[in-house]
Structure 1
Amino acid sequence: MKSPLWGARIGNDSMKQVVLITGGTMGIGQGLAEAFLAQGDEVAVCGRSAEALEAFTRAHPQALAIKADVTKSLDRAAMLEAVANRFGRLDVLVNNAGRFVERDFLRSDAAKDLEDEITLNLTAPIQLTAEVLERWPKPAALIFVTSGFALVSPTRAPTYGAVKAGLHGFAEGLRRQLAPNGTHVLELLPTTTDTPGTAHETRKKMTTTEVAAVTLKALARHRDMALPGPMKMLPTLLRIAPNATKRMVADI
């Protein structure tokens, strides 16, 4: 049976951050992985596709790629053990893995596979965060990739808005809880980004490189939120013109 790990072992430099990114083999996760690698950090990514993991390793042989489904407790445990064996610690966890699901509740099958959506987008990142903190109680940072839809639920995907709002609330409360330990909790609310999941979208998109740059800047400045592109205006617009903003954002 093929090993769940791809990539050769490299030496560990204690001055580097060790970063784990879920769903890090494509899209925003890959952009973040490449940004952390570019600044000299040690990076581990996980994903479910062996093909994507192998492609990532060919492009980034210095990184650790782990085959894992974050919705499965045994996979999460094995992933953290792989990080511990390779690097001895974890400094930054990026909860990025997720999926956008459109649901029309005027249809009879609206709640099909609802538990899977909630588990991947909400339950799994909370569970993984708890497991990381149990093993490494004082990480430097925890990053949660949510969405502008965490603040305004989309008409075409109300359950996606619900789970991202839940993750937003978790990050907000956790930030206060972990403040005495010095752990930075950062929430990334990406705008429409050029990824395989948005290939059908025709409106203007940011690149994953641009989103990653905004995220690392917010991390360095110890911000609560990373707000790429038009997202930087969303919290303000919701305060000064909440109804108009909600109408505009909800139907994107």
Structure 2
Amino acid sequence: MKQVVLITGGTQGIGLGLAKAFMARGAEVAVCGRSDGPLDAFSREFPKALAIKADVTIAEERAAMLDAMYDRFGQMHVLVNNAGRFVERDFLAADAVNGLADEVALNLTAPISLTSEVLQRWPALQSIIFVSAGFALISPARAPTYGAAKAGLHGFAEGLRRQLARHGTHVLELLPGITDTPGTATETRKKMTTSEVAEITLEALAKKKPMALPGSMKLLPTLLRIAPEATRRMVAEM
């Protein structure tokens, strides 16, 4: 039986890298996104996959997306909560919290809500992947609300992993380092490719690890144990 995988925000970046990696292993893949252009491009390149236009922050659109999944596949084995957005905020500025509700909805509330809705329909789900960030462990100075949302997602993944363990559902948290995506186009630091991140993620998934830690993130938990203050200062200013 082929795995059926849903990846939110799967038309570009890490989500697209994961979609390609799952398809290369024979999985049936569905992705969702909010923009017609990337969805159309995905459908042209991967005509056997399912591309769904949906805003995961809107309950009705999440429901319609899961209806489309059921109509096409009848089942789901893996949910990848990937959709998210990095937002810089200066809290000395007057507009510091403009759009805050939308940011928190996309980065935290939506993946929690979608996870609940998927489990109601497919309680025997094999795996849930949350695409988080190293900033879940150390909040960045330039984007403290992003760090707060990712820290919340990290806590949710950790608790959910314990809750679902007895039911056989594996919960994996992906903490990618800097990756070559449209969002990091102006970055000059060395970046991992999305295919490298995807391969490490699927390897961690196969081994039922709690975390996938690509590249520089592999050392982060250890550094936080042995040199917590220096590590926090270094990462927080990235």
Using the size of structure 1 for normalisation, the TM-score is: 0.94
Task: Find out whether 1:106 has 2:99 as its counterpart.
Answer: no
Task: Find out whether 1:201 has 2:181 as its counterpart.
Answer: no
How many residue pairs get aligned? The number is 238
Task: Find out whether 1:215 has 2:198 as its counterpart.
Answer: no
Q: Give the Å deviation of 1:228.
A: 0.2
- What does residue 222 of structure 2 align with? 236
Q: Secondary structure at the match of 1:181?
A: coil
Task: Find out whether 1:48 has 2:41 as its counterpart.
Answer: no
Q: Give the Å deviation of 1:236.
A: 0.5
CA distance in 2, matches of 1:224, 1:16: 23
- What does residue 65 of structure 1 align with? 51
AA of the residue aligned to 2:72: R
AA of the residue aligned to 1:221: K
Task: Find out whether 1:138 has 2:124 as its counterpart.
Answer: yes
CA distance in 1, matches of 2:37, 2:96: 32
- What does residue 84 of structure 1 align with? 70
Match for residue 249 of structure 1 among 212, 235, 238: 235
Match for residue 154 of structure 2 among 168, 181, 193: 168
Match for residue 149 of structure 1 among 135, 148, 152: 135
Deviations 1:117-172 (A, max 9, x none): 00000000000000001111120000000000000000000000000000000000
AA of the residue aligned to 2:149: V
Identity of aligned residues (%): 73
Gaps of 5+ in 1: 1-14
Gaps of 5+ in 2: none
CA distance in 2, matches of 1:241, 1:138: 41
CA distance in 2, matches of 1:53, 1:154: 31
CA distance in 1, matches of 2:75, 2:166: 20
Q: Secondary structure at the match of 1:93?
A: strand
CA distance in 2, matches of 1:114, 1:59: 35
Match for residue 178 of structure 1 among 157, 160, 164: 164
CA distance in 1, matches of 2:182, 2:68: 28
Q: Give the Å deviation of 1:62.
A: 1.0
Q: Give the Å deviation of 1:108.
A: 1.1
Task: Find out whether 1:119 has 2:105 as its counterpart.
Answer: yes
